[in-house]
């Protein structure tokens, strides 16, 4: 039976859905412990117990958040050693992947990113080359470090809750690390998170500066708002909304693309969506090559009409 360690970074007062997914996946693979960074809030401790976690490891140092990646990776590697873990699971955020990268070197462990499923023997499944191949990969090392994409596991609490104990891990000193000297919090939009939203409505240069029609349709559908780089570069919407090679990779149930031509770098971030709908006034746009339902038309007519119709049907 494998020993699994799940890394969870600063959960605050509640665990994210993606963290619950990791705990559920871990339990399916073996005996699972958590390496936490940040305060262990009572509600989080209760959720760990509910998900069958008996052991939570905590770092001896409290300043891991003041530096970029290196000390967190040193902590995670030490925690994995202490827990005797042979599978380490992290979320697939940019920072998750980098912590994995460095912990992997410290543990002489193979690292696999963008994982969507893990078999009982540790074989990981992921798609590569912008979704054009599905692959099975495996680390040949005693320990494997896997970063797992959100929305691929249904979170399920354990059959019986566990009694939780906490253990402190000595964080090895890291001499060379970049220090974070200032941090500006961004305001939350109130809409679902782009990376794990069930529906994404995205707009591009065709919006000509006005994201209103996209936002209204997104809100009628309870969707997240995405954008092409042309739209984020123009400053019409924040860079966080960019979908594509240098933005976010999304695989929602539904992706509605409006006023986006469908350049290769945009497609790289969205072509694994289950259903793609495209609205574009140019019938020759490459986006129509991958759309399940395409509308050649003006988005300023089509989107508001659809929004009104959805509101009408939803009553």
Partner 1 sequence: MKIIVLVKHVPDAQFDRHLTGEGYTTDRDESILSELDEYALEAALQLAEARGGSKAGNQVIALSMGPSGAVNAIKKALQIGATEGVHLTDGALAGSDAAATSLALAAAIRHLGSDAPVDLVLTGMASTDGETSLVPAQLAERLDMPQVTFASSLEVDGGRLTARRDADTSSETVEAPLPAVVSVTDQINEPRYPNFKGIIAAKRKSITTLSLADIGVDPAQVGHAGSWTSVLSAEERPPRTAGTIITDEGDAGIKLVDFLAAQKLL
Residues 238-257 that bind ligand FAD (CB under 6 A): 242-247
Write out the binding residues for partner 1, residues 41-100 only, by CB under 8 A.
Answer: 68-70, 73, 93-95, 97-98, 100
Alpha-carbon distance 280 to 196, whole Å? Answer: 25
Among 53, 199, 214, 250, binds partner 1 (CB under 8 A): 199
User: Cβ(67)–Cβ(180) under 8 Å?
Assistant: yes
DSSP symbol at 97: H
- Could you tell me which stretch among 9-17, 29-37, 100-108, 259-267 binds ligand FAD (CB under 6 A)? 259-267
78 versus 260: smaller Cβ distance to ligand FAD:
260
Alpha-carbon radius of gyration of the chain: 21
Question: Who contacts 163 (Cβ-Cβ below 8 Å, separation ≥6)?
Answer: 49, 54
Q: How far is the CB of 231 from ligand FAD (least distance, A)?
A: 6
For residue 76, give the nearest of 15, 141, 147, 18 by alpha carbon.
Answer: 147
244 binds, among partner 1, ligand FAD, none (CB under 5 to 8 A by kind): ligand FAD
Q: How many residues contact partner 1, by CB under 8 A?
A: 93
Query: Is 272 one of the binding residues for ligand FAD (CB under 6 A)?
Result: no
DSSP symbol at 261: -
- CA torsion 224-195-51-89 (nearest 10°) is -170
Query: Is 90 one of the binding residues for ligand FAD (CB under 6 A)?
Result: no
Interface ranges with ligand FAD (CB under 6 A): 204-206, 228-231, 242-247, 259-261, 263, 265-266, 269, 279-282, 285, 298-300
């Amino acid at each position: 039976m494998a020993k699994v360690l799940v890394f969870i970074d600063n959960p605050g007062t509640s665990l994210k859905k993606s963290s619950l997914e990791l705990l559920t996946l871990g339990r399916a693979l073996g005996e699972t412990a958590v390496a936490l960074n940040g305060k262990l809030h009572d509600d989080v401790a209760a959720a760990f117990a509910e998900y069958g976690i008996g052991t939570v490891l905590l770092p001896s140092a409290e300043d891991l958040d003041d530096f970029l990646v290196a000390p967190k990776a040193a902590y995670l590697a030490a925690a994995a050693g202490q827990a005797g873990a042979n599978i380490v699971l992290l979320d697939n955020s940019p920072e998750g992947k980098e912590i994995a990268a460095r912990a992997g070197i410290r543990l002489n462990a193979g690292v696999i990113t963008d994982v969507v499923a893990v078999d009982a023997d540790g074989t990981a499944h992921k798609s590569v080359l912008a979704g054009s191949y599905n692959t099975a990969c495996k680390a040949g090392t005693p320990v494997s470090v896997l970063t797992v994409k959100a929305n691929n596991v249904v979170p399920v609490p354990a059959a019986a809750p566990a009694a939780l104990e906490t253990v402190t891990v000595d964080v090895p000193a890291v001499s060379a690390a970049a220090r974070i000297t200032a941090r500006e919090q961004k305001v939350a939009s109130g809409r679902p998170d782009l990376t794990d939203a069930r529906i994404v409505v995205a707009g591009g240069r065709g919006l000509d500066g006005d994201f209103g029609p996209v936002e209204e349709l997104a809100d009628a559908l309870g969707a997240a708002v995405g954008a092409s780089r042309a739209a984020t570069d123009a400053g019409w919407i924040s860079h966080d909304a960019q979908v594509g090679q240098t933005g976010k990779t999304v695989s929602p149930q539904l992706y509605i693309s409006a006023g986006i031509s469908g350049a290769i770098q945009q497609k790289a971030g969205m072509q694994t969506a289950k259903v793609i709908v495209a609205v574009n006034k140019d019938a020759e746009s490459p986006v129509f090559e991958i759309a399940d339902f395409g509308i050649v038309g003006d988005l300023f007519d089509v989107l508001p009409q659809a929004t009104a119709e959805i509101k009408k049907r939803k009553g």
